Amino acid sequence: MTLGEGCRADFPILARSVNGRPLVYLDSGASSQKPRQVLEAMQRFYERSNANVHRSIHTLGEEATEQYEAARDAVRAFVAARYRQEVIFTRGTTDGINVVAATIGRTLQPGDEVIVSEMEHHSNLIPWQMACRDRGATLRAIPLVDGAYLDMEAYARFLGPRTRIVAVAHISNVLGTINPVAEIVRQARVVGAMTLLDGAQAAPHLRLDLAALGCDFYVCSGHKMLGPTGIGVLYGRLETLERLEPGVGGSEMIKEVWIDHAQWNDLPWRFEPGTPPIAEAVGLHAAIEYLDKLGMDRVSAHERDLTRRCLEALSAIPGVTVYGPRNPEIKGAVVAFNVAGYHPHDVAALLDQSGVAVRAGHHCAQPLARALGVTGTLRASFSVYNTAADVERLADAVAGLRDQL
């Protein structure tokens, strides 16, 4: 039994039908489904231990705090961070990037430069546009080569003494390209620039070793990695976090408060204003335990196999164009494609009639769509519970489109 076949039964939603056909869910890149273990952990928390964290001197408050902080330890191990102070809970990837942009943004000077790339999700573009606009800094975007890869020569040219931060995707949410992040981080450090990696598509798919990677920031979302919505992780390198002023304020992130000033709390709470997503942290903890049990190396190999099958099956259908790297070894669990003569939204709607869920549109990466010369694409993305049969259902539905429209 393959990994996908083995864990399908843990995901209750996969038992349902859509339009009279068994659901084939190929939109995990947008949001993954949740195993029973995650749903039960959250239910148990709400039924047994629900309370606010860090300030309630009663049993439930202590249990909630204990479970919330245990989730932090689980994340630390999962991403291989050195210290638990490096793990900050956010509301998601977008929130994590905004927390960093708000923090670094206020220190930007006119003439400073921020480097992003042409393949960024809007979430890793707009916060930097806003920060640069507010401070008179310059935003530069690494262009693409061959419509799939970052132009590393252009990146080297962009880097300089004015570069303050480099913010790029670990894995493109459209192309699936696994970017050479270790090299990107290494080169940024040479010029003294900070680095932020958008790991929304990578954390569910790859074994991470952030201590070894050496980036200053890494962000990801719980809901794309079998966990609940409303929680994300912002990893910050301890040495970097220690010298940064928080950009977002509120309760929890302070030690002592006066009317006109305050003393910041210790790390990691300094960057966690307000009541955090507690039940969601408990759910994320269960999701991490689930992934750990499967083993991230097996998860990667399984999803790589599905990506390879999908590339082969779609490429064999006349009129289908596939985007991004053709080699599954350097590609995440994402395959973007178009069908000649058909609008992506029509294709997605017709696939849905066959019970196959894919995403269609610009995937919150309009500059990338423009660079590819398309208004949008279809995107099939995979998770642990997908199988080779799912890929076959997709390919059959795509091949049968011409009879439907």
Q: Active-site residues: which are they? A: 364
Closer residue to another protein, CB minimum distance, 240 or 404: 404
Write down the least CB distance from residue 360 to another protein, Å: 8
Query: Contacts with another protein in 335-394 (CB under 8 A)?
Result: 342-343, 345-346, 349-350, 353, 361-362, 366, 369, 375-376
Angle at 277 between CA 58 and CA 55, to 5 degrees: 25
Residue 336 DSSP class: E
Write down the least CB distance from residue 173 to another protein, Å: 16
Q: Are strands 217-221 and 194-198 parallel, antiparallel or unpaired?
A: parallel
Closer residue to another protein, CB minimum distance, 210 or 348: 348
Backbone torsions φ then ψ of 313, nearest 5 degrees: -65, -45
Closer residue to another protein, CB minimum distance, 260 or 403: 403
Closer residue to another protein, CB minimum distance, 350 or 384: 350
Write down the least CB distance from residue 273 to another protein, Å: 32
Backbone torsions φ then ψ of 206, nearest 5 degrees: -120, 150
Write down the least CB distance from residue 97 to another protein, Å: 22
Closer residue to another protein, CB minimum distance, 175 or 219: 175
Q: Which of 83, 91, 89, 45 is closest to 67 using CA atoms?
A: 45
* 404 belongs to the binding site for another protein (CB under 8 A): yes
Strand residue runs (E) in 229-386:
232-236, 254-257, 262-264, 320-323, 334-339, 356-357, 359-361, 377-381
Closer residue to another protein, CB minimum distance, 63 or 346: 346
Write down the least CB distance from residue 348 to another protein, Å: 10
Q: Which of 158, 163, 155 is closest to 132 using CA atoms?
A: 163
- Termini Cα distance of the chain: 37
List the alpha helices (DSSP H) in 106-257: 126-135, 152-158, 181-190, 210-213, 238-242
Say how far apart CA 73 and CA 77 lie, in whole Å.
6
Say how far apart CA 255 and CA 291 lie, in whole Å.
36
- Assess contact for 333 and 310: CB atoms under 8 A: no
Write down the least CB distance from residue 375 to another protein, Å: 5
How many residues bind to another protein according to rule CB under 8 A? 15
Contacts of 83 (CB under 8 A, 6+ apart): 76, 238
- Assess contact for 88 and 248: CB atoms under 8 A: no
Write down the least CB distance from residue 378 to another protein, Å: 12
Which spans of this chain sit near another protein (rule: CB under 8 A)?
342-343, 345-346, 349-350, 353, 361-362, 366, 369, 375-376, 404-405
